[in-house]
Structure 1
Amino acid sequence: MDTDKIYAERIASEYAPKDASKVVALRKLDARAKRPATVFGYAFGIVSSLLLGVGMCLSMGVMGDADSPALFALGVAVGVVGIAGAVVNYPLYRRVLEWGKQRYASDIVLLAQEISAS
Structure 2
Amino acid sequence: MENLNTDKIYAEQLAGEYAPKDTTKVMALHKLDQRAKLPALVCAYSLGIVASLVLGVGMCLTMGVIGNGSGLLFVVGVIAGLVGIAGICVNYPLYNRLIQRGKERYGTDIVRLAQEISAE
Q: TM-score, normalised by structure 2?
A: 0.80
Q: Which of 79, 94, 107 is residue 92 of structure 1 equivalent to?
A: 94
Percent identity of equivalent pairs: 63
- Which residues of 2 match residues 1-118 of structure 1 at below 5 A? 19-66=22-69, 68-118=70-120
**What RMSD over aligned residues (CA atoms) do the two structures have, in Å?**
1.8
Query: Aligned-pair distance for 1:97?
Result: 0.8
Aligned positions, number: 105
Q: Where does the alignment leave 5 or more consecutive residues of structure 2 unmatched?
A: 1-8
SS at structure 2 position matched to 1:113? helix
**What is the deviation of 1:57?**
1.2
Relative to the length of structure 1, the TM-score reads: 0.81
Q: Which runs of 5+ in 1 are unaligned?
A: 1-10
Q: Deviations over 1:43-101 (max 9, x none)?
A: 000000010011011111122221x1111011011101101111221111111111111
**SS in structure 1 opposite 2:86?**
helix
Deviation for aligned residue 1:116: 1.4
In the other structure, the counterpart of 2:4 is none
